[in-house]
Amino acid sequence: MSGPDASRSKLVSIEEAAASVPDGAVLGVGGVMDQMVPARFLLALAGRGARDLHAVTVAASLSVDLLVGAGCATQVSCAIVSFEDLGTSRLFRRRVEAGELRFHEYSELTLLNRLSAAMNGLPFLPTRAALGTDILATEGLMEFECPFTGAPLVACSALAPDVSVIHAHRADAAGNVQLDGKHIWHDLVIAKAAGRLIVTVEEVVAEAEIRAAPERTVLPAFAVDAVVEAPRGAWPTTCRPRYEADREALRAWVDAGADDAAVAQLLGRWTAEPAR
């Protein structure tokens, strides 16, 4: 893959970016639990009626649930779908139990290794994690013998999403992306493993602002294909330090999960309204 042209603007509207994700794509999604989910973008995918996506994310609450609830995803690869103290996802559970959603269950590290292998251009990465578990029956994992020590290891084959989307604090039009505060979770692995990368940001800034603090740049322009300005783009999940999770909105989502009509109604409202 040749890098995107660094000189041209990669700014696109959220609708254009959503339209660029083809039906049937393997879609890497950033965020963990109720933190930094590119929710605005996922709602735009729902708005365009995306279908048959395979969502890949490591630890999910709303990210997987939105795509499932909107009928966009028919496959999910991740390690957990839970809203913690707000409850488990009845929506996810119902869809899997009804056979409408194929769930590829990984442990965090086996999935992270699959993505990291893709990120590094390797066919697989080894781990000692998940040995002795039924997780090893999930596709892309295989027990093998260490060529040096003979010890049992798990090979995690490369998994490259066709497209990934993450949310960040700021970028310039060329696609230099910055995060405020330390990057904690898996977003940059999900981002760098993908064939194409869309980044939604709280604000688009001038190139000079990026160059004034290059230590904050987590993705250089050559690694980014599209930038979408999406203020409050992670709502109702957190985008620290700008805003906390909207727990009332998340609670409303979890409660709606028992009933498809309630899910559709909430999705309709969230898609139509600007982010709060």
Partner 1 sequence: MSDPAIADLMVCALADCLTSDEVCTNGAASFLPVAAIGLARRTGAPALTHIGGAVGVDPRWQELSGSTVGPAYWEGAAALLNHPHEFWPFVGAGRITTIFHRAAQIDARGNLNNSEIHGERPVRLPGGAAMGDTAALIPRVLIWSTTHDRRTFVDRVDYRTCPGYLDRPGQREALGMPGGPDRVVTDLATMDFTPEGRMRLRSLHPGVDLATVEERTGFELAMPPGEVPTTREPTPAESDLIAALDPAGYRFGEFRA
Nearer Cβ to partner 1, position 26 or 115?
A: 115
Residues near 269 by beta carbon (within 8 Å), at least 6 away in sequence: none
CA distance 58 to 42: 16
Q: In this chain, which of 107, 176, 178, 200 binds partner 1, going by CB under 8 A?
A: 107
Least distance (Å) from partner 1 to the CB of residue 204? 25
The answer to whether 148 and 177 are in contact (CB under 8 A) is no
Q: Does 1 bind partner 1 (CB under 8 A)?
A: no
Q: Does 129 bind partner 1 (CB under 8 A)?
A: yes
Q: Give CA 13 to chain center in angstroms.
A: 19
Backbone angles phi, psi at 68, to 5 degrees: -70, -45
Nearer Cβ to partner 1, position 179 or 230?
A: 179
Q: Does 6 bind partner 1 (CB under 8 A)?
A: no
Q: In this chain, which of 20, 47, 74, 86 binds partner 1, going by CB under 8 A?
A: 86
Q: Does 92 bind partner 1 (CB under 8 A)?
A: yes
Q: In this chain, which of 110, 164, 176, 200 binds partner 1, going by CB under 8 A?
A: 110
Least distance (Å) from partner 1 to the CB of residue 49? 26
Instruction: Determine the residue type at 211.
Output: R
Question: Contacts with partner 1 in 171-200 (CB under 8 A)?
Answer: 182-186, 188-189
| Angle in degrees, CA 139, 140, 141, rounded to 5 | 95
Using the structure block, give the residue that is written with the tokens 């603007």: 9
Q: Does 216 bind partner 1 (CB under 8 A)?
A: no
Nearer Cβ to partner 1, position 10 or 114?
A: 114
Q: Does 249 bind partner 1 (CB under 8 A)?
A: no
Q: Does 131 bind partner 1 (CB under 8 A)?
A: yes
Residues near 150 by beta carbon (within 8 Å), at least 6 away in sequence: none
Nearer Cβ to partner 1, position 12 or 86?
A: 86
Q: Does 271 bind partner 1 (CB under 8 A)?
A: no
Nearer Cβ to partner 1, position 19 or 79?
A: 79
What would the x/- binding string for partner 1 be over residues 7 to 46, using CB under 8 A?
-------------------------xxxx-----------
Q: Does 247 bind partner 1 (CB under 8 A)?
A: yes
Cβ neighbours of 216 (radius 10 Å): 17
Q: Does 57 bind partner 1 (CB under 8 A)?
A: no
| Contact footprint for partner 1 (CB under 8 A) | 32-35, 59, 78-82, 84-86, 88-89, 92-93, 96-97, 103, 105, 107-110, 112, 116, 127-135, 151-152, 182-186, 188-189, 238, 240, 245, 247
